[in-house]
Amino acid sequence: MSEDAAPSSPQRVTRTLRGIGASPGIVVAPCLVLEAADSTVFRVSVKSAEVDGEVRRFRDAIETAREQLKELQRMFEKEHRETAGSIFDAQRAVLEDETLMGGAANAIRTQRINAEWALRMELHHLTQSFADVPERERLLENIEDIENRIQKILAGSQHHELSELTEDVIIVASKLSPSETALLRVERVIAMATDKGGPSSHTAIVAKALGIPAVVGLHDLSERVNSGDPLVVDGSRGVVVVNPTPADVARYEGMSRDFRRGEEERLRVLRHLTAVTTDGTRIEIHANIELREQIDVTLKYGAEGIGLYRSEFLFLHRSPYLPTEDEHFEVYRHLAEKMAPNVVTIRTLDLGGEKYFHTVLKKDENNPVLGMRAIRFCLAHKDIFKTQLRGILRATMFGNVRVMFPLISGVEEFRAARAVLEEAMGELAAEGIPHKADIPVGMMIEVPSAAAVADLLAREADFFSIGTNDLIQYTLAIDRSNESVAYLYRPMHPAIIRTIKFTADACHAAGIPVAMCGEMASDPLIVPILLGLGFDELSMDAVYIPSVKAAIRALTVVEAREMVADILKLATASEVEEYASSRILPRLLEAVPMLVESSGTWAM
Amino acid sequence: MEAEITIVNQLGLHMRAAGKFAKLAGQFRSRIHLLRDGVSVDAKSIVGLLTLAAAQGSTLILKTDGEDEKEAFEALCALVANKFGEDR
């Protein structure tokens, strides 16, 4: 790295940290540490023609900060609080100090960088030189206060966006909220690593959706590194290397190339093949998506339909506004046309819980995961719900569209949701707007109470899709983003397998298709169990499609049923996991070589 | 002018004290420097003063040079002796 690249830890120790692999792949790049949402500072290159303007912007910000401090000091002195006032005097002395501020202005000119980053670097160097200063902690607090003041002023003028990043970065953060993660959908963000979060956290979901590597649950990574430090992120093994040696870099870059080459080769071969067992049972393989732009990647990976379109992102992107009926319609029509004749399953709004903050939600729920979310929210806000349903119904004219309700807890709720759909149909018919009245209406099975009455619900719904992330969370009472209990999040818990079996059997008895769109559907070691349980469709993030197809193509449905029979006799999650690694894994190794690397993620 | 001065206040040459020192020094035309263990800093720069890391009991050399060097010297010595206006 060039010496102007970034302030970084002076010791440069190479460290290997173990976390949880949340999205596969390997990259080597400098990191960008995101701090609290508003104070995030990052490096942007400034064109030479704009350097003078950037220096002026910086000087103006300093001047504004000085004025603010003067005013504060006047206020305090008026109240005879001399001591408090003189701290602002001292802060002002720092602002007026040419060694510091001249240094930052000079950095803007010579390195052509943005004012925010120049200030951050200069103050970073400064605090390094304050090793033994008296009252060091208070001094550092004051320096931070000064920086925050100036950064705030700079942000208020005309600030730089992450989308202006000119170099590839790995995002490092303590945790990423969904709205922060939404901001990270930029090309230059090539991996993520977070202190908190489990394998099903939002970071993991988004990283997989974007097809970039991610490692979560790294404890204190964000405190150990500074922006600009080089990192290796190995999302396949759940490893992060801080300040890698040149030998590490060479090794991981080689692995990264092999990973990509292997992936491309597998893709090329598997894209046009169906997931059919050697004895002729076929499972449809669908993709989970949240952005219309993902359709192309989905097709590239060989998806045979969309098993889950997470429509809440449509709401998140429009926040604080709500999408209009036409906006809904346009997105759904696009999906339907692109996928036709294959199916597109639109899940209605699943806002709330721990995810997808939008201003229409109440903020003061004590326990949002058990609160006013998803279908409950929609039934309480019928106008919002009906607007979406009308958009979906209009899109039925352009392809093979299904609608699916999230978080249904029992028959009454399903009927209530269906009634709103029928109301919407009635309105459209009265207005003479074309739509298909025979749209398949399904529901997610993700609340244990719905699973318990799956046989009753199967009489009313046209299809089920099991959402395992929430189902596991609710069944096992585990907050999946709380890393201190993340070890209890065990997809192979016998309670989960029984619940899934009961649901699948209910579908078969009623003659409706059963799908799975949760995390479990993408794990090649679990797929044989789902095959044995008679699933009709599996839906997953597109990157997993090749592995899942390969696994199914290597098996017979007869042996899969035998595996299920064995597993149903086991008493603990550990026994099932042990069965998977001793019996299923060896059976699939040849077909899905990536399993060697990924099998560590759940067998911890 | 040049002489040894000793930091007597309890907190030493911390941020607020350094701010007062730099502000006062800035009111004179003379060049003013503080030295500690052979390291010399511009006494009109708070950042420079802070890098001296002068705790209570530290001995520093104060140098003033210019038309108002005497006034500057006396004023700064008084500020230090007066514990920068602090109680202890």
Question: Closest Cα to residue A597, out of A239, A264, A300?
Answer: A239
**Which two tokens mark A536?**
């009709």
Whether A9 and A1 have beta carbons less than 8 Å apart is answered as: no
Q: Which helix (H) or strand (E) holds A331?
A: helix A325-339
pLDDT at A361 over 70: no
Residues of A in contact with B42 (CB under 8 A): 99
**Which two tokens mark A48?**
């030479």
pLDDT at B54 over 70: yes
Average pLDDT, chain A: 85
Question: Closest Cα to residue A373, out of A424, A418, A315?
Answer: A315
Q: Does residue A573 fall inside a structural domain?
A: no
Per-residue pLDDT tens for A502-536?
999 999 999 999 999 988 999 888 999 999 999 99
Mean pLDDT in residue range A38-60 = 83
Q: Does residue A587 fall inside a structural domain?
A: no
Mean pLDDT in residue range B46-54 = 89
Question: B14 vs A134: CB contact, 8 Å cut-off?
Answer: yes
Write down the pLDDT at residue A599.
Answer: 38
Per-residue pLDDT tens for A147-172?
888 887 887 654 455 666 778 899 99
Whether A323 and A360 have beta carbons less than 8 Å apart is answered as: no
Q: Please work out, in degrees rounded to the nearest 5, the angle formed at the alpha carbon of residue A315 by the alpha carbons of A312 and A317.
A: 110
CA distance A127 to A181: 31
Mean pLDDT in residue range A183-210 = 78
CA distance A391 to A356: 21
Per-residue pLDDT tens for A58-94?
999 999 989 888 877 776 666 544 555 577 788 888 9
Write down the pLDDT at residue A6.
Answer: 41
pLDDT at A46 over 50: yes
Same domain, A452 and A318: yes
In which band, very low, low, confident or very high, does the pLDDT at A33 lie, cut at 50, 70 and 90?
confident
Task: Go through the domains of chain B in sequence order and give each one's CATH number.
Answer: 2-85 (3.30.1340.10)
**Which two tokens mark A368?**
């949002």
A273: helix, coil or strand?
coil
CA distance A66 to A78: 18
Domain boundary among A119, A142, A159: A159
Per-residue pLDDT tens for A533-590?
999 999 998 888 988 999 999 999 999 999 999 999 999 999 999 999 889 988 887 7
From the candidates B7, B8, B11, B16, which should be mutated to test the interface with A, based on the most A CB atoms within 10 A? B16
Same domain, A348 and A443: yes
pLDDT at A251 over 90: no
Same domain, A230 and A244: yes
Question: Closest partner residue to A129 among B11, B14, B51, by Cβ?
Answer: B51
Residues of B in contact with A132 (CB under 8 A): 53, 55
Question: B18 vs A93: CB contact, 8 Å cut-off?
Answer: yes
Return the higher-pLDDT residue of A178 and B44: B44
Write down the pLDDT at residue A83.
Answer: 52
**Min CA distance, A219 vs chain B (Å)?**
34
Residues of B in contact with A130 (CB under 8 A): 50-51, 53
DSSP class of residue A352 equals B
In which band, very low, low, confident or very high, does the pLDDT at A308 lie, cut at 50, 70 and 90?
very high
ipTM: 0.85
Q: Does residue A139 fall inside a structural domain?
A: yes
Write down the pLDDT at residue A472.
Answer: 94
**Which two tokens mark A31?**
């990191």
Whether A348 and A375 have beta carbons less than 8 Å apart is answered as: yes
| CA-to-CA dists, residue A292 to A288, A346, A362, B25, angstroms | 11, 12, 28, 64
Task: Write the CATH number for A146.
Answer: 1.10.274.10
B20 touches chain A (CB under 8 A): yes
A538 - beta bridge partners?
A285, A516
pLDDT at A14 over 60: yes
A466 - beta bridge partners?
A445, A516
Same domain, A36 and A111: no
Q: Does residue A588 fall inside a structural domain?
A: no
Q: Does residue A3 fall inside a structural domain?
A: no
Instruction: Quickly count: other Cβ atoms within 10 Å of residue A341's Cβ.
Output: 8
Q: Does residue A561 fall inside a structural domain?
A: no
Please report where in the chains the tokens 């006062």 appear, as a residue.
B24
Residues of A in contact with B48 (CB under 8 A): 97, 99
Mean pLDDT in residue range B4-33 = 92
Write down the pLDDT at residue A4.
Answer: 38
Write down the pLDDT at residue A460.
Answer: 97
Whether A200 and A489 have beta carbons less than 8 Å apart is answered as: yes
Question: A126 vs B47: CB contact, 8 Å cut-off?
Answer: yes
CA distance A412 to A405: 13
Size of the A and B interface in Cβ pairs below 8 Å: 69
Domain boundary among A143, A159, A175: A159
Instruction: Quickly count: other Cβ atoms within 10 Å of residue A487's Cβ.
Output: 10
Q: Which residues of A touch B (CB under 8 A)?
A: 83, 86-87, 89-94, 97-100, 126, 129-135, 138-139, 142
Where is average pLDDT lowest: A3-7, A541-545, B13-17? Answer: A3-7
Same domain, A182 and A327: no
Q: How many domains does chain A have?
A: 3
Q: What is the DSSP string of A403-470?
A: EEESS--SHHHHHHHHHHHHHHHHHHHHHT----TT--EEEEE-SHHHHHTHHHHTTT-SEEEE-HHH
A206: helix, coil or strand?
helix
Mean pLDDT in residue range A287-299 = 86
Same domain, A391 and A284: yes
Question: Closest Cα to residue A500, out of A519, A479, A487?
Answer: A519
Percent of chain A with pLDDT over 70: 86
pLDDT at A35 over 80: no
Same domain, A30 and A76: no
Q: Does residue A207 fall inside a structural domain?
A: yes
B11 touches chain A (CB under 8 A): yes
**Which two tokens mark A127?**
């605090």
B39 touches chain A (CB under 8 A): no
Question: A90 vs B54: CB contact, 8 Å cut-off?
Answer: no
Percent of chain A with pLDDT over 90: 47
Per-residue pLDDT tens for A464-506?
999 998 999 999 998 876 778 878 889 999 999 999 999 999 9
| CA-to-CA dists, residue A269 to A374, A388, A545, A549, A594, angstroms | 39, 38, 12, 11, 16
- Tell me the CB-side half-sphere exposure of residue A149, using CA atoms within 13 A: 22
Same domain, A374 and A396: yes
Write down the pLDDT at residue A130.
Answer: 82
**Which two tokens mark A560?**
């899969």
Quick one: how many helices (H) and strands (E) in chain B?
3, 4
Same domain, A243 and A338: no
- Classify residue A247 by burial, with Cβ atoms within 10 Å: 0-12, 13-18, 19+: exposed
Write down the pLDDT at residue A516.
Answer: 98
A344 - beta bridge partners?
A306, A401
Whether A289 and A532 have beta carbons less than 8 Å apart is answered as: no
Same domain, A423 and A302: yes
Mean pLDDT in residue range A355-380 = 76
Same domain, A350 and A443: yes
Mean pLDDT in residue range A307-335 = 87
- Tell me the CB-side half-sphere exposure of residue A565, using CA atoms within 13 A: 6
B25 touches chain A (CB under 8 A): no
Catalytic residue selected from B1, B14, B31, B48: B14
**Which two tokens mark A136?**
């060091």
Please report where in the chains the tokens 């086991």 appear, as a residue.
A570
Q: Does residue A413 fall inside a structural domain?
A: yes
A594: helix, coil or strand?
coil
Q: Is the dihedral of CA A311, A313, A317, A318 positive or negative?
A: positive
Concerning whether B33 is annotated as a catalytic residue, the answer is: no
Instruction: Quickly count: other Cβ atoms within 10 Å of residue A186's Cβ.
Output: 15
In which band, very low, low, confident or very high, does the pLDDT at A376 lie, cut at 50, 70 and 90?
very high
Catalytic residue selected from A31, A378, A507, A517: A517
DSSP class of residue A355 equals B
Write down the pLDDT at residue A600.
Answer: 36
Where is average pLDDT lowest: A399-408, A483-492, B5-14? Answer: A483-492
Per the structure, the complete domain to which residue A391 belongs is given by: 272-545
Task: Write the CATH number for A30.
Answer: 3.50.30.10
Domain boundary among A255, A281, A311: A255
Write down the pLDDT at residue A597.
Answer: 43
**Min CA distance, A101 vs chain B (Å)?**
11
Question: A86 vs B16: CB contact, 8 Å cut-off?
Answer: yes
Task: Write the CATH number for A520.
Answer: 3.20.20.60
B45 touches chain A (CB under 8 A): yes
Question: Closest partner residue to A99 among B13, B14, B47, by Cβ?
Answer: B47
Question: B13 vs A100: CB contact, 8 Å cut-off?
Answer: no
| CA-to-CA dists, residue A586 to A563, A573, A578, A594, A604, angstroms | 13, 19, 12, 12, 18
- Which residue in B has a C-alpha nearest to residue A90's C-alpha? B19
Identify which of A292-306, A370-384, A553-567 has the greatest average pLDDT.
A553-567
Question: B19 vs A90: CB contact, 8 Å cut-off?
Answer: yes
Write down the pLDDT at residue A357.
Answer: 53
- Which residue in B has a C-alpha nearest to residue A84's C-alpha? B16
pTM of the predicted model, to two decimals? 0.57
Same domain, A385 and A419: yes
Q: What phi and psi, each to the nearest 5 degrees, are found at residue A600? A: -70, -20
**Min CA distance, A9 vs chain B (Å)?**
20
